Amino acid sequence: MATKKTPSAPPVGASNAIPAETHQTAATNEPVLTTNQGVPVSDNQNSLKAGERGPVLLEDFVLREKITHFDHERIPERIVHARGSGAHGYFLPYESAADLTKAAFLQNPKKKTEVFARFSTVAGGAGSVDLPRDVRGFSVKFYTEEGNYDFVGNNIPVFFIQDAMKFPDVIHAVKMEPDRGFPQAASAHATFWDFISLTPESMHMIMWVMSDRAIPRSLRMIEGFGVHTYRLINAEGVSRFVKFHWRPVLGSSSVIWDEAVKISGADPDFHRRDLWESIERGDFPEWEFGVQVIEEADAAKLDFDLLDPTKLIPEEIIPIRMLGKMVLNRNPDNHFAETEQVAFCPANVVPGIGFSDDPLLQGRLFSYLDTQLSRLGGPNFHQIPINAPRCPMHNFQRDGLRQMGVLKGRVAYEPSQIEPAGPRECPVTGFRTHPEAETGEKIRKRAETFADHYSQARLFFRSMTPPEQNHIASALAFELAKVEIKEIRQRMLGHLQHIDAALHDTVGAALGMEGTDIDVTPAVKPRDLEPSPSLSLITKAPSTLKGRKVGILVTDGTDALLLESLVAAIRKEKAVVGLVARRIGGFTDSNGSMVEVQHALSGAPSVLFDAVVLLPSADAVESLVQEAAAVNWVRDAYGHLKAIGHHAAALPLLEAAAVTVDSAVVDVEAPKGIRNFVAAAKKGRLWEREPALRSIG
């Protein structure tokens, strides 16, 4: 039988091709960017808005097509924020916030609202590690009596870009490079810095992402920010602008980069495990929820545009008013059903909360529901238990993929004579958009008021303590050293010059590229703003061991009494003790009792603890000195600036690890030794130790 020849399909885009000349830029002969319909695009930087500071228009088919395509690029994992950890809990207001908002869940200090929170990294896949250098997502679904309100923010108060039109670009740049499929969960590669170095508006966020904020100690210790300006509207219809904040009650701490690298290997689930275990043991994470309030009439007095998501308002200028507290007190029953299938959406608001015209927010209002249609398999994902409102829900939407309800009746519309008693709109309790006057041309244009890209980057850097500044410089040197294209590094040095001359010089020297900058001309001359000490984690670090973990290295013959006193003192501070021995089976203490331990030395490097104590017996210490894992345990704790408690028998181990005794290396057998160790551990890290141990670059 003769084989039938299948005609080959025409190449995509070949048939009816528009003449080539309309698809080449006049200036450089590059191919013209088009939509998926082949329509040439005039502006790939700005959404279509009603006036340059106005809201984005639904008519913007270029934006909608670009975002729709992006939203559906990964199935079924989230295109961003794929790796997340979640927990259930509740929110309780401190007092009525009726002066600010009519939102029901913010009225009554006796009324708890159920919540589900999810924390995430942005760039990595669902199976990636917990501690890459990255932004953390901070999402909270409030199941209020007026429907679901979703807070969908980050642990950093500003963003890389000013317009949602650029979101697919920045995410494509940071994700693994499409041809080679690496690197996973890392911004230290050429495509990310290529995009960033050509996007001056990202410089403020870059300072944050290169700071220790991007490597948090625990999800229980991250701050949360709404990033955009939102509105709160009270019962009288008065609208005020707000910036939303979450503050962890435990205080904020970070790890340092060398720890992050080692933790990623020792425990890739470091954050997820920590959140899970703390809830299991009844040590419930808590956050305060607050707002910075800006009267509409005062918005113009700020020295930047409130609609620009690359800017923050220092707390020294507008303090945060705390509205209430969230407590996470229950782990999910099933990770997939809850943490994976939960769908957050910034468009899910309740009466009393409203949006601003921030063009990044406006794009987000479209993107989330759209992406969830494919991730969660159709338009009925609001019926999945974790997404379903806890209050009654009635409407005429019917059918569709994965419809779980058996909805009765003949009428699925209104008005209706057949079924006059169906659900009907209610002008009194129904959601109303704050009536804001909008004027202006339909236009793709970035407002002039968005043009200052360096002043707040400089403000952030100059608000840091010296160790924090050094870490930013080291992070930049680390990341840029991984960029093989010299011009990208040179252009970044050009930007750093406008942020801080010392930072620029330090990074330039660390890269060995002094004097090679590619000059960058700022659109607006950077200004010197008043530093904001509240932006520094070190400045506001609480003195506490609460929620932290102390590792105690034990061996056969460890002094039982000393161990008991130490454990009691540490637990009194509401910290967790982890006993580490060579074998997981346990050890025999000085009383001859067999004691269980939680960790084997080989699997529990000291990076997993916030402070350590060395309690080997005199007989066992020599064998530890021969053991790299034990020596590294001590050396790393010292290098990571932690408090180290010890007794006389441990001195050979301190010596083998080249530890120089300082105020955080404490003999726990000395008078008040345990108390002194606890005091040193409560300080977190001994920053004064760092300059002798680590240089930049």
Closest CB to ligand HDD among 195 and 344?
344
| Rounded least distance, CB 664 to ligand HDD, Å | 36
The answer to whether 321 is annotated as binding is no
| Rounded least distance, CB 53 to ligand HDD, Å | 18
The answer to whether 368 is annotated as binding is yes
Active centre residues (catalytic):
81, 154
Closest CB to ligand HDD among 230 and 344?
344
| Rounded least distance, CB 151 to ligand HDD, Å | 9
Closest CB to ligand HDD among 71 and 556?
71
| Rounded least distance, CB 171 to ligand HDD, Å | 8
| Rounded least distance, CB 346 to ligand HDD, Å | 8
Are β-strands 587-588 and 594-595 bridged in parallel, bridged antiparallel, or unpaired? antiparallel
Q: Which of 613, 583, 609, 619 is nearest to 677 (CA)?
A: 613
CA 523 from centroid of its chain's CA atoms: 29
Q: How far apart are CA 648 and CA 339, in angstroms?
A: 48
Are β-strands 644-646 and 594-595 bridged in parallel, bridged antiparallel, or unpaired? unpaired
H or E element at residue 208 = helix 203-209
| Rounded least distance, CB 497 to ligand HDD, Å | 27
| Rounded least distance, CB 118 to ligand HDD, Å | 4
Closest CB to ligand HDD among 118 and 646?
118
Helix axes 466-481, 486-499, angle to 10 degrees: 160
Q: What is the 3-state secondary structure (H, E, C) of 643-687?
A: CEEECHHHHHHHHHCCCCCCCCEEECCCCCHHHHHHHHHHCCCCH
Q: Which of 345, 349, 369, 366 is nearest to 431 (CA)?
A: 349
Which residues make up the interface to ligand HDD (CB under 6 A)?
Answer: 67, 71, 78-81, 84, 118, 120, 137, 139, 152-154, 159, 164, 167, 227-228, 309, 342-344, 360, 363-364, 367-368, 371-372
The answer to whether 247 is annotated as binding is no
Closest CB to ligand HDD among 314 and 346?
346
Q: How far apart are CA 126 and CA 465, in angstroms?
A: 34
Q: How far apart are CA 526 and CA 462, in angstroms?
A: 13
Identify the three-state secondary structure at position 322.
strand
What are residue 612's DSSP bridge partners? Answer: 551, 644
Closest CB to ligand HDD among 359 and 547?
359
Instruction: Please count the other Cβ atoms lying within 10 Å of the Cβ belonging to residue 11.
Output: 8
- Burial of 512 (C-beta count, 10 Å sphere; 0-12/13-18/19+): exposed
Are β-strands 230-233 and 353-354 bridged in parallel, bridged antiparallel, or unpaired? antiparallel
| Rounded least distance, CB 91 to ligand HDD, Å | 17
The answer to whether 402 is annotated as binding is no
Closest CB to ligand HDD among 55 and 673?
55
Identify the three-state secondary structure at position 126.
coil
Q: Which residue has the tokens 């790393």?
A: 636
Q: How far apart are CA 300 and CA 294, in angstroms?
A: 10
Angle at 192 (CA atoms; ends 186, 193), nearest 5 degrees: 115
Close Cβ partners of 15 (under 8 Å, ≥ 6 residues apart): none
The answer to whether 689 is annotated as binding is no
The answer to whether 133 is annotated as binding is no
Q: How far apart are CA 614 and CA 636, in angstroms?
A: 13
CB 351 within 8 A of CB 107: no
Amino acid in the structure at residue 159:
F
Give residue number: closest CB to ligand HDD: 137
Which string of DSSP letters, residue by residue, matches 371-418?
HHHHHTTSTTGGGSTTTS-SS----S----TT------SS--SSS-SS
Closest CB to ligand HDD among 444 and 599?
444
Bind-site residues for heme? 78, 118, 167, 364, 368, 375
